[in-house]
Amino acid sequence: MQAASEDGANGARTVPFYADRQAGVGTAAQAHGVFIALDLKTGTTPERLKSLLKLLSDDAANLTQGKPALADTEGELAVRPARLTVTFGFGPGLFRVLGPERVQAGPLDLPAFSIDKLVPELSGGDLLLQICADDPLTVAHAQRMLLKDSRSFTTVRWVQSGFRRAYGTEQSGTTMRNLFGQVDGTSNPAPGSAEFERVVYGDDSMPAWTPNGTSLVIRRISMNLDKWDELDKSGREEAVGRRLANGAPLTGKSEHDEPDFAAVTPVGFPVIADFSHLRRARPEDSIQRIFRRAFNYDSVPGPGGVSDSGLIFASYQADVQRQFVPIQRRLDELDLLNLWTTPVGSAVFAIPPGCAPGGFVGDGLFA
């Protein structure tokens, strides 16, 4: 059991910033996260972009180690990093600034899906900052410092904040739950495993866009909790294909039991229905796997509304088109959860490698 320490030991914990790969992907998910999409200002040159990335990298390197940013007027707020990570993502607009020879390395847009009701103010972006920590004050301070760095170079396109269980609430490694109450992410490959390496960073048969890089799809999924409340437990489990109590498939007893899609009820119907989320998300092709690192959100509802809640679905994979898109197409075609969920935001970013001291995230693109 990983328990919160009374002497604030978790607040002092750090995650290295300088490495071959960026932190915040295989890092055990923190309790709080914010995703910020920025648009580069018109007329941005490669040199201006380089200056921005160097400034952001230098301040992120300090903040993640519990040190104030360069122009930090509230440096006292930086001394408890609480496993702070800052992960950079590059959108299509950033690659266009670098020149035509770099555009093909960038992320490709997703195809249109029938279930989408996307709004521009929650979609797209040239530069992503993913800021995560176990303390919300740490996240807020890092967000402010990095946005101060960015304001001469960019405009804010959107900000999405999310959360998981508070640090110490559950045993380390417990699969998160979303606001429907369902266990979310059971099929994730374990960070550090050979399968995680293949899924997230690719291999010879399916390379990522660059060595030690990966790709991120962010989907903001609105969840109609009020309508979900009208469904009884058995209906919820049939829609998901798993038991709500522990996440076990309806044909098993434990969360990580393999589902038996051939099993039928006494009257001949599949125990795990073809329209269940588990069945639609489960690929027949082993290439079609992703690594989920999602966060819940609970925003202030609009006039007359009761809730505005859902999931910031963050999916990492080596190749978006070969891994993420086929899964999403199956969900688009026949997933009973579509009755209660609606994607309202979507963006794709290339995640560049990490950097060494003296360098900056993305420096390889300027070579």
pLDDT tens digits for 326-366? Answer: 999 999 999 999 999 999 999 999 999 999 999 999 999 99
Mean pLDDT, residues 97-124 taken together: 89
Task: Give the model confidence (pLDDT) of 218-270 as tens digits.
Answer: 999 999 999 999 999 999 999 999 999 999 999 999 999 999 999 999 999 99
Token couple for 23: 């932190």
Work out the percent of the chain whose per-residue pLDDT is above 70.
98
Query: Given a cut of 70, is residue 12 above it in pLDDT?
Result: yes
Enumerate residues 6+ apart whose C-beta is below 8 A from 179. Answer: 223, 225, 296, 298, 309, 310, 311
- The C-alpha atoms of residue 197 and residue 188 are separated, in whole angstroms, by 12
Is 126 in the active site? no
Catalytic residue (choose from 184, 319, 332, 335): 184
- The C-alpha atoms of residue 323 and residue 281 are separated, in whole angstroms, by 11
| Domain ranges, ordered by start, for the chain | 13-169+176-366
Are 312 and 295 a contacting pair, CB within 8 Å?
yes
Task: Give the model confidence (pLDDT) of 263-293 as tens digits.
Answer: 999 999 999 999 999 999 988 888 999 999 9
Task: Give the model confidence (pLDDT) of 230-242 as tens digits.
Answer: 999 999 999 999 9
Are 98 and 126 a contacting pair, CB within 8 Å?
no
Enumerate residues 6+ apart whose C-beta is below 8 A from 9. Answer: none
Token couple for 63: 């903040």
Per-residue confidence (pLDDT) for residue 2, from 0 to 100: 44
